[in-house]
A and B are shown apart, each in its own frame.
Chain A
Amino acid sequence: MIRTNRRKLALTSAVLAVAAMTASSLPAQAASDPGLTSTTIKLGITVPLTGIASPGYNKIPGAMKAYFDYVNANGGVNGRKITLVVKDDQYIPTTAVAKANELILKDKVFALVGTLGTASTKAISASTQLAKRGIPSLFVNTGFSGFADPKAYPTTFSILPSYQMEAKIMGKFLKDKYADKKLALIYQDDDFGRDALAGFKQAGITFTTAIPYASGSQSLPATGAGWISKLKAAGTEVTVLFGVSSASTAALANAYAAGYKTQWVLGSVGGDATTIAATNKAYVPLLFGAKGFSFAPAPTDATDEYIKLFQSIYAAAQPTQTFDNNVVAGMSNAFVAVQALQAAGSNLTRAGLMKTIESKGASFANPFLTPLGYSATSHVGATGYWIGTYDQTGALKPDGGKYTVYTTDSGTGPVVESTYKRPAMPAKGLPN
Chain B
Amino acid sequence: MIQFINMLLIGIGAGSIYALMAIAMVLVWRSTRVINFAQAGMALLSTYIGFELVQKTGNFWIALPLAMILGALFSALVEILLIRTLIKHSTSGPVAGIVPIIATLGLLGVIRATIGFIWGNQDIQIQPPLSKVGFKVGEETIALSPMNLLVLLTVVGMVIILGFIFQKTNLGLSLRASAYSPEIAQLAGIRVGAIRTIGWAIAGAAGAAAGLLQTVNGTGAISPDSLEFSLLLTFGFIAAVIGGLESLPGAVLGAVVLGLVLAVVQIYISGTLVFIVAFALLLLVLLVRPQGFIGSKAGRRA
Query: CB–CB under 8 A between A and B in the complex?
Result: yes
In the complex, the answer to whether B221 meets A211 with C-beta atoms within 8 Å is no
A225 touches B143 (CB 8 A): yes
Is the C-beta of A37 less than 8 angstroms from some C-beta in chain B? no
User: In the docked arrangement, what's the CA distance between A259 and B6, Å?
Assistant: 13
Q: Do B219 and A279 touch (CB < 8 A)?
A: yes
Judge if A281 is at the interface, Cβ distance under 8 Å: yes
Say yes or no for A229: interface residue by CB 8 A criterion.
Answer: yes
Instruction: Identify A280's interface contact among B116, B133, B221, B267, CB under 8 A.
Output: B221
Q: Are A259 and B136 neighbours in the complex by a CB distance under 8 Å?
A: yes
Whether A229 touches B134, Cβ cut-off 8 Å, given contacts A55-B122, A223-B271, A280-B125, is: no
Assess whether B116 is in contact with A50, with CB atoms less than 8 Å apart: yes
Select the residue from A49, A52, A220 with max chain B CB neighbours within 10 A: A220
Q: Which residue of A lies closest to B147 (CB)?
A: A257
- Residue A33 is within 8 A (CB to CB) of chain B in the complex: no
Closest to A321 in B: B122
Cα distance A108–B95 in the bound complex, in angstroms? 44
Contacts of A213 in B (CB 8 A): 271-272
The answer to whether B127 has its CB under 8 Å from any CB of chain A is yes
A260's closest neighbor in chain B, by CB? B141
> Given the complex of chains A and B, what is the CA–CA distance between A280 and B219 in angstroms?
7
Select one of A52, A220, A283 contacting B14, CB under 8 A: A220
As a 0/1 sequence over residues 210 to 234 of chain A, the CB contacts with chain B under 8 angstroms (1 = contact) are: 0111101101111101110110110
* Interface size range on B against A: 35 or more
Q: Does B153 contact A (CB under 8 A)?
A: no
- Please measure, in the bound complex, the distance between the C-alpha atom of A213 and the C-alpha atom of B270, giving whole angstroms: 7
B17 at the interface (CB under 8 A from A): yes
Cα A280 to Cα B7 with chains together (Å): 26
Query: Is B3 engaged at the interface, CB distance under 8 Å to the other chain?
Result: yes
Q: In the complex, what residues of A have CB within 8 A of residue B11's CB?
A: 222
Of the candidate stretches B78-86, B96-104, B162-170, B223-231, the one touching chain A is B223-231
Q: Is A230 touching B267 in the complex (CB atoms < 8 A)?
A: yes
B76 at the interface (CB under 8 A from A): no
Q: Cα distance A282–B127 when bound, in Å?
A: 8
How many interface residues does chain A have, given as a range? 35 or more
> Is B132 in contact with A257, judged by CB distance below 8 angstroms?
yes
Contacts of A283 in B (CB 8 A): 219
A43-63: contact bitstring with B at CB < 8 Å (1 yes, 0 no)? Answer: 000000111101110110000
Contact yes or no, B143 A229, CB < 8 A? yes
Bitwise interface map of B from 115 to 145 toward A, beta carbon under 8 Å scored 1, else 0? 0100001110101100011101000010101
The yes or no answer to A262 lying at the interface (CB within 8 A) is: no
Q: A residues within 8 A CB of B272? A: 189, 212-214
Say yes or no: A223-B266 contact (C-beta < 8 A), given A256-B133, A258-B141, A282-B127: yes
Inter-subunit contact B123/A221 (CB<8 Å): no
A246 to B221, CA, bound (A): 10
Whole-angstrom distance between the Cβ of A217 and the nearest chain B Cβ: 5
Per the bound structure, the CA–CA distance linking A22 and B19 in Å amounts to 70
**Measured between C-beta atoms, what is the minimum distance from A62 to chain B in Å?**
11
The complex places the Cα of A233 from the Cα of B5 at a distance, in Å, of 12
Which chain B residues border A51 with CB–CB below 8 Å? 225
Q: A56 — nearest CB in chain B belongs to which residue?
A: B123
Let me know if B214 is at the binding interface, CB within 8 A.
yes
Chain A residue numbers with a CB within 8 Å of B266 are 222-223, 226
Q: Are A50 and B121 also in contact (CB < 8 A) when A220-B262, A280-B219 are?
A: yes
How far is B112's CA from A51's CA once the two chains are assembled, in angstroms? Answer: 10
Query: Which A-chain residue is minimally distant from B264 (CB atoms)?
Result: A226
Closest chain A residue, CB of each to CB of B214:
A221
The CA of A49 and the CA of B7, in the complex, are separated in Å by 37
Q: Which of A50, A59, A189, A278 is B225 in contact with, Cβ under 8 Å?
A: A50
List of B residues within 8 angstroms of A49 by Cβ: 121
If A54-B225, A222-B10, A225-B10 touch, whether A259 touches B141 (CB-CB below 8 Å) is yes
Query: Quick one: CB contact mask for A236-259 with B, threshold 8 Å, 1 for yes?
Result: 000000000010011001001111
The answer to whether A221 touches B217 (Cβ under 8 A) is yes
- As a 0/1 sequence over residues 183 to 224 of chain A, the CB contacts with chain B under 8 angstroms (1 = contact) are 000000100000000000000000000011110110111110
Q: How far is the CB of A164 from chain B (nearest CB, A)?
A: 21
19 new A-B pairs (CB below 8 Å) besides A221-B214, A222-B266, A233-B3?
Answer: A50-B224, A55-B121, A55-B122, A214-B272, A217-B274, A219-B231, A221-B14, A221-B259, A222-B10, A222-B263, A223-B274, A225-B13, A226-B266, A230-B267, A249-B219, A256-B132, A257-B132, A257-B145, A258-B143
